[in-house]
Structure 1
Protein backbone atom coordinates (compact mmCIF):
# COMPACT_ATOMS: atom_id res chain seq x y z
CA UNK A 1 0.00 0.00 0.00
CA UNK A 2 1.42 3.35 -1.02
CA UNK A 3 0.58 7.02 -0.49
CA UNK A 4 -2.52 7.84 -2.52
CA UNK A 5 -3.86 4.26 -2.53
CA UNK A 6 -7.42 3.70 -1.33
CA UNK A 7 -8.23 1.33 1.52
CA UNK A 8 -10.29 -1.78 0.80
CA UNK A 9 -13.98 -1.34 1.70
CA UNK A 10 -14.07 -4.21 4.21
CA UNK A 11 -11.35 -3.82 6.82
CA UNK A 12 -12.29 -6.78 9.02
CA UNK A 13 -14.03 -7.73 12.26
CA UNK A 14 -13.55 -5.72 15.46
CA UNK A 15 -13.31 -6.86 19.08
CA UNK A 16 -17.12 -7.05 19.28
CA UNK A 17 -17.49 -9.19 16.15
CA UNK A 18 -18.76 -6.20 14.15
CA UNK A 19 -17.65 -5.69 10.55
CA UNK A 20 -15.49 -2.59 10.05
CA UNK A 21 -15.92 -0.81 6.72
CA UNK A 22 -14.01 2.11 5.22
CA UNK A 23 -17.32 3.79 4.32
CA UNK A 24 -18.13 4.10 8.06
CA UNK A 25 -15.30 6.61 8.25
CA UNK A 26 -16.17 8.64 5.15
CA UNK A 27 -15.37 12.28 5.80
CA UNK A 28 -13.15 11.41 8.78
CA UNK A 29 -9.43 10.75 9.04
CA UNK A 30 -8.14 7.45 10.42
CA UNK A 31 -4.96 6.26 12.09
CA UNK A 32 -4.78 2.62 11.00
CA UNK A 33 -1.99 1.01 12.95
CA UNK A 34 -0.73 -2.55 12.61
CA UNK A 35 1.00 -4.24 15.53
CA UNK A 36 2.34 -7.77 16.03
CA UNK A 37 0.63 -9.10 19.18
CA UNK A 38 -1.71 -8.17 22.02
CA UNK A 39 -0.24 -7.91 25.54
CA UNK A 40 3.43 -7.83 24.43
CA UNK A 41 5.63 -5.02 25.80
CA UNK A 42 6.11 -3.01 22.59
CA UNK A 43 2.53 -3.42 21.42
CA UNK A 44 1.19 -2.47 24.84
CA UNK A 45 3.44 0.61 24.95
CA UNK A 46 2.20 1.67 21.49
CA UNK A 47 -1.48 1.11 22.33
CA UNK A 48 -1.11 3.00 25.62
CA UNK A 49 0.62 5.90 23.85
CA UNK A 50 -2.34 6.16 21.49
CA UNK A 51 -4.76 5.78 24.43
CA UNK A 52 -3.03 8.48 26.47
CA UNK A 53 -3.16 10.93 23.56
CA UNK A 54 -6.52 9.78 22.19
CA UNK A 55 -8.26 13.11 22.87
CA UNK A 56 -5.40 14.99 21.14
CA UNK A 57 -5.70 12.70 18.12
CA UNK A 58 -9.49 13.02 17.91
CA UNK A 59 -9.20 16.81 18.23
CA UNK A 60 -6.98 16.65 15.12
CA UNK A 61 -9.87 14.82 13.42
CA UNK A 62 -8.54 11.26 13.60
CA UNK A 63 -10.20 8.01 14.57
CA UNK A 64 -7.82 5.27 15.77
CA UNK A 65 -8.08 1.65 14.64
CA UNK A 66 -5.57 -1.04 15.59
CA UNK A 67 -5.04 -4.26 13.63
CA UNK A 68 -3.28 -7.52 14.46
CA UNK A 69 -3.79 -11.20 13.69
CA UNK A 70 -5.00 -11.84 17.25
CA UNK A 71 -8.51 -13.15 17.92
CA UNK A 72 -11.61 -11.19 18.90
CA UNK A 73 -11.27 -12.63 22.43
CA UNK A 74 -7.63 -11.59 22.69
CA UNK A 75 -8.55 -8.06 21.58
CA UNK A 76 -11.35 -7.89 24.16
CA UNK A 77 -8.88 -8.79 26.93
CA UNK A 78 -6.29 -6.31 25.62
CA UNK A 79 -8.85 -3.49 25.55
CA UNK A 80 -10.09 -4.33 29.05
CA UNK A 81 -6.59 -4.66 30.52
CA UNK A 82 -5.48 -1.26 29.21
CA UNK A 83 -8.78 0.68 28.88
CA UNK A 84 -8.26 1.25 25.16
CA UNK A 85 -10.89 3.67 23.76
CA UNK A 86 -10.58 2.55 20.11
CA UNK A 87 -11.45 -0.41 17.91
CA UNK A 88 -9.12 -3.32 17.28
CA UNK A 89 -9.55 -5.44 14.16
CA UNK A 90 -9.00 -9.19 14.58
CA UNK A 91 -7.43 -10.06 11.21
CA UNK A 92 -6.91 -13.74 11.98
CA UNK A 93 -6.92 -14.65 8.26
CA UNK A 94 -4.44 -11.81 7.54
CA UNK A 95 -6.68 -10.46 4.75
CA UNK A 96 -6.13 -6.77 5.54
CA UNK A 97 -2.58 -7.41 6.75
CA UNK A 98 -1.66 -8.87 3.36
CA UNK A 99 -3.64 -6.24 1.40
CA UNK A 100 -1.72 -3.48 3.19
CA UNK A 101 1.64 -5.22 2.64
CA UNK A 102 2.59 -5.41 6.32
CA UNK A 103 3.40 -9.13 6.55
CA UNK A 104 6.99 -10.04 5.84
CA UNK A 105 10.52 -10.75 6.92
CA UNK A 106 11.72 -9.27 10.21
CA UNK A 107 15.21 -9.22 11.66
CA UNK A 108 15.13 -9.33 15.44
CA UNK A 109 18.50 -9.51 17.15
CA UNK A 110 19.97 -11.18 14.07
CA UNK A 111 17.23 -13.79 13.84
CA UNK A 112 15.12 -13.69 10.66
CA UNK A 113 11.41 -14.42 11.16
CA UNK A 114 8.22 -13.85 9.19
CA UNK A 115 5.50 -11.81 10.83
CA UNK A 116 3.53 -8.61 11.04
CA UNK A 117 5.61 -5.50 10.41
CA UNK A 118 4.68 -2.71 12.84
CA UNK A 119 3.33 -0.03 10.48
CA UNK A 120 0.97 2.94 10.77
CA UNK A 121 -1.06 4.47 7.95
CA UNK A 122 -2.64 7.90 8.20
CA UNK A 123 -5.79 7.84 6.09
CA UNK A 124 -7.52 10.94 4.72
CA UNK A 125 -11.27 11.72 4.64
CA UNK A 126 -11.62 9.92 1.28
CA UNK A 127 -10.12 6.65 2.53
CA UNK A 128 -6.75 7.22 0.86
CA UNK A 129 -3.32 6.75 2.42
CA UNK A 130 -1.79 10.18 3.12
CA UNK A 131 1.25 9.15 5.19
CA UNK A 132 3.03 5.97 6.34
CA UNK A 133 5.17 5.22 9.39
CA UNK A 134 7.39 2.25 8.53
CA UNK A 135 8.60 -0.24 11.16
CA UNK A 136 11.97 1.44 11.69
CA UNK A 137 10.34 4.84 12.23
CA UNK A 138 7.93 3.85 15.00
CA UNK A 139 8.93 4.43 18.62
CA UNK A 140 6.24 2.55 20.53
CA UNK A 141 6.25 4.64 23.71
CA UNK A 142 6.14 7.91 21.73
CA UNK A 143 4.08 6.91 18.72
CA UNK A 144 1.15 9.24 19.38
CA UNK A 145 3.58 12.18 19.70
CA UNK A 146 5.23 11.11 16.43
CA UNK A 147 1.84 11.16 14.68
CA UNK A 148 0.88 14.55 16.17
CA UNK A 149 4.22 16.03 15.12
CA UNK A 150 3.85 14.77 11.54
CA UNK A 151 0.23 15.96 11.26
CA UNK A 152 1.08 19.40 12.62
CA UNK A 153 4.14 19.68 10.36
Structure 2
Protein backbone atom coordinates (compact mmCIF):
# COMPACT_ATOMS: atom_id res chain seq x y z
CA UNK A 1 0.00 0.00 0.00
CA UNK A 2 1.36 3.38 -1.00
CA UNK A 3 2.08 5.82 1.83
CA UNK A 4 3.08 9.48 2.03
CA UNK A 5 6.71 9.85 0.93
CA UNK A 6 6.64 6.80 -1.35
CA UNK A 7 7.57 6.97 -5.03
CA UNK A 8 5.01 5.79 -7.56
CA UNK A 9 5.22 2.24 -8.90
CA UNK A 10 7.11 1.77 -12.13
CA UNK A 11 4.19 0.53 -14.24
CA UNK A 12 2.99 1.30 -17.75
CA UNK A 13 -0.63 2.31 -18.25
CA UNK A 14 -2.61 3.32 -21.33
CA UNK A 15 -4.24 6.68 -21.93
CA UNK A 16 -7.58 7.17 -23.67
CA UNK A 17 -5.77 7.23 -27.04
CA UNK A 18 -4.28 3.79 -26.25
CA UNK A 19 -0.77 5.24 -25.88
CA UNK A 20 1.66 3.96 -23.23
CA UNK A 21 2.14 6.15 -20.17
CA UNK A 22 4.75 5.25 -17.55
CA UNK A 23 3.36 6.25 -14.19
CA UNK A 24 6.80 6.80 -12.68
CA UNK A 25 7.76 9.14 -15.55
CA UNK A 26 4.86 11.60 -15.30
CA UNK A 27 6.12 15.13 -14.67
CA UNK A 28 5.41 16.19 -11.09
CA UNK A 29 3.58 17.75 -9.44
CA UNK A 30 0.28 16.09 -10.32
CA UNK A 31 -2.94 14.62 -9.01
CA UNK A 32 -3.71 10.94 -9.56
CA UNK A 33 -7.26 10.06 -8.64
CA UNK A 34 -8.72 6.57 -8.79
CA UNK A 35 -12.37 6.08 -9.62
CA UNK A 36 -14.30 2.79 -9.83
CA UNK A 37 -15.97 2.90 -13.24
CA UNK A 38 -16.41 5.29 -16.16
CA UNK A 39 -19.82 6.81 -16.86
CA UNK A 40 -21.32 6.13 -13.44
CA UNK A 41 -22.80 9.04 -11.44
CA UNK A 42 -20.07 9.51 -8.82
CA UNK A 43 -17.24 9.02 -11.29
CA UNK A 44 -18.85 11.42 -13.75
CA UNK A 45 -19.29 14.10 -11.08
CA UNK A 46 -15.70 13.68 -9.93
CA UNK A 47 -14.43 14.11 -13.48
CA UNK A 48 -16.62 17.18 -13.96
CA UNK A 49 -15.37 18.70 -10.69
CA UNK A 50 -11.70 18.21 -11.59
CA UNK A 51 -12.36 19.55 -15.10
CA UNK A 52 -14.07 22.64 -13.66
CA UNK A 53 -10.97 23.40 -11.56
CA UNK A 54 -8.41 22.46 -14.22
CA UNK A 55 -7.46 26.10 -14.96
CA UNK A 56 -6.68 26.61 -11.26
CA UNK A 57 -4.53 23.47 -11.17
CA UNK A 58 -2.82 24.58 -14.42
CA UNK A 59 -1.84 27.90 -12.80
CA UNK A 60 -0.01 25.86 -10.16
CA UNK A 61 1.63 23.64 -12.79
CA UNK A 62 -0.27 20.61 -11.44
CA UNK A 63 -1.60 18.08 -13.97
CA UNK A 64 -4.64 15.90 -13.26
CA UNK A 65 -4.93 12.20 -14.10
CA UNK A 66 -7.97 10.01 -13.49
CA UNK A 67 -7.33 6.28 -13.35
CA UNK A 68 -9.63 3.25 -13.56
CA UNK A 69 -9.60 -0.30 -14.92
CA UNK A 70 -11.76 0.72 -17.90
CA UNK A 71 -10.42 0.13 -21.42
CA UNK A 72 -8.81 3.04 -23.28
CA UNK A 73 -11.75 3.03 -25.72
CA UNK A 74 -14.25 3.37 -22.87
CA UNK A 75 -12.18 6.17 -21.36
CA UNK A 76 -12.13 8.04 -24.68
CA UNK A 77 -15.91 7.76 -24.96
CA UNK A 78 -16.37 8.85 -21.32
CA UNK A 79 -14.09 11.88 -21.70
CA UNK A 80 -15.74 12.95 -24.97
CA UNK A 81 -19.27 12.54 -23.61
CA UNK A 82 -18.63 14.95 -20.72
CA UNK A 83 -15.94 17.12 -22.37
CA UNK A 84 -13.37 16.30 -19.70
CA UNK A 85 -10.19 18.36 -19.89
CA UNK A 86 -8.21 15.95 -17.72
CA UNK A 87 -6.20 12.90 -18.79
CA UNK A 88 -7.80 9.53 -18.13
CA UNK A 89 -5.59 6.47 -17.72
CA UNK A 90 -6.39 2.76 -17.97
CA UNK A 91 -5.01 0.13 -15.61
CA UNK A 92 -6.76 -2.92 -17.07
CA UNK A 93 -4.11 -5.25 -15.62
CA UNK A 94 -4.45 -3.71 -12.10
CA UNK A 95 -0.68 -3.21 -11.83
CA UNK A 96 -0.77 0.29 -10.32
CA UNK A 97 -4.15 -0.25 -8.68
CA UNK A 98 -2.92 -3.20 -6.62
CA UNK A 99 0.53 -1.76 -5.88
CA UNK A 100 -0.98 1.48 -4.60
CA UNK A 101 -3.45 -0.38 -2.39
CA UNK A 102 -6.71 0.78 -3.95
CA UNK A 103 -7.90 -2.67 -5.12
CA UNK A 104 -9.96 -3.55 -2.07
CA UNK A 105 -12.83 -5.69 -0.86
CA UNK A 106 -16.08 -3.77 -1.05
CA UNK A 107 -19.51 -4.51 0.32
CA UNK A 108 -22.76 -3.47 -1.36
CA UNK A 109 -26.12 -4.65 -0.07
CA UNK A 110 -24.40 -7.44 1.84
CA UNK A 111 -22.53 -8.70 -1.22
CA UNK A 112 -18.73 -8.63 -1.03
CA UNK A 113 -16.63 -8.09 -4.15
CA UNK A 114 -13.27 -6.63 -5.20
CA UNK A 115 -13.15 -3.16 -6.70
CA UNK A 116 -11.36 0.16 -6.85
CA UNK A 117 -11.51 2.31 -3.75
CA UNK A 118 -12.12 5.94 -4.68
CA UNK A 119 -8.79 7.48 -3.66
CA UNK A 120 -6.61 10.43 -4.62
CA UNK A 121 -2.85 10.88 -4.47
CA UNK A 122 -1.17 14.28 -4.68
CA UNK A 123 2.33 13.86 -6.06
CA UNK A 124 4.77 16.57 -5.00
CA UNK A 125 7.50 18.28 -6.99
CA UNK A 126 9.95 15.56 -5.89
CA UNK A 127 7.82 12.87 -7.57
CA UNK A 128 6.80 11.31 -4.26
CA UNK A 129 3.37 11.04 -2.67
CA UNK A 130 2.72 14.24 -0.72
CA UNK A 131 -0.87 13.57 0.36
CA UNK A 132 -3.43 10.75 0.18
CA UNK A 133 -7.20 10.76 0.42
CA UNK A 134 -8.88 7.36 0.79
CA UNK A 135 -12.58 6.48 0.71
CA UNK A 136 -13.22 9.78 -1.03
CA UNK A 137 -16.64 11.42 -1.02
CA UNK A 138 -16.96 13.26 -4.34
CA UNK A 139 -18.73 16.45 -3.26
CA UNK A 140 -16.12 19.13 -2.56
CA UNK A 141 -13.19 16.75 -3.03
CA UNK A 142 -11.61 18.41 -6.09
CA UNK A 143 -11.59 21.76 -4.25
CA UNK A 144 -9.95 20.11 -1.23
CA UNK A 145 -7.23 18.64 -3.46
CA UNK A 146 -6.71 22.06 -5.08
CA UNK A 147 -6.17 23.60 -1.62
CA UNK A 148 -3.56 20.95 -0.84
CA UNK A 149 -1.87 21.54 -4.22
CA UNK A 150 -1.67 25.26 -3.45
CA UNK A 151 0.24 24.41 -0.28
CA UNK A 152 2.94 22.42 -2.13
Give the TM-score of the pair, scaled to structure 2.
0.90
Dislocated runs of 4+, deviation >6 Å: none
Unaligned runs of 5+ in 1: none
Distance 1:30 1:115 in 2: 24
Query: Contact conserved, 2:31 with 2:62, CA < 8 A, in 1?
Result: yes
Aligned to 2:8: 7
Distance 1:146 1:126 in 2: 21
Counting only pairs closer than 5 Å after superposition, residues 102-141 of structure 1 correspond to structure 2 as 102-135=102-135, 138-141=136-139
Aligned to 2:21: 20
Change (3 A) 1:95 1:129: same
Compute the displacement of 1:85 (Å).
Answer: 1.3
Compute the displacement of 1:89 (Å).
Answer: 1.1
Distance 1:45 1:33 in 2: 13
Unaligned runs of 5+ in 2: none
- Give the number of equivalent residue pairs: 149
- Give the alignment's Cα RMSD to 1 decimal: 1.6
Query: Contact conserved, 1:31 with 1:122, CA < 8 A, in 2?
Result: yes
Compute the displacement of 1:60 (Å).
Answer: 2.2
1:140 aligned counterpart, secondary structure: coil
Q: Deviations over 1:99-129 (max 9, x none)?
A: 1110011233544332100000000122210
Give the TM-score of the pair, scaled to structure 1.
0.90
